[in-house]
Amino acid sequence: MNSMADAWRGLFENWPSTLPRKGLLVTSFDTGIPFCAYMIAGGLLLLERDKPDASNARKVIVGYDQILGLKITDPIDLVRFQALGFQPPQ
């Protein structure tokens, strides 16, 4: 895997229980995937939707190398993201 894929994998593998496991995953497929839960397996991420997509799918499996971004949909204070390794600039 490349360094970005490794970074995404680390983020999802170490997601703290204090943060909701939901958001909108932006992928290289030029799509956003809303999710309400997820599971991990090696280089793959299994996302669960709370509503089916246009194909009636509720589960989506993507490789970490396909992830471009993650949108957090809940109002969460920035300081809570320090549990994921984020720090304010010096």
Which pLDDT tens digit goes with each residue over 40-65? 999 999 999 999 999 999 999 999 99
Q: Between residues 45 and 18, which one has the greater pLDDT?
A: 45
Q: How many structural domains comprise the chain? A: 1
Domain annotation covers residue 80: no
Sign of CA dihedral 66, 59, 35, 56: positive
Q: What percent of the chain has pLDDT over 70?
A: 99
Domain annotation covers residue 31: yes
Distance separating alpha carbons of residues 49 and 83, to the nearest angstrom: 25
Domain annotation covers residue 88: no
Query: Looking at residue 14, which CATH number applies to its domain?
Result: 2.30.30
The H-or-E segment that residue 15 falls in is none
Domain boundaries, position 22: 3-74
Q: Which of 1, 21, 2, 24 is closest to 12 using CA atoms?
A: 21
Q: Confidence band (pLDDT; 50, 70, 90) for 90?
A: confident
Q: Report whether pLDDT(2) > 70.
A: yes
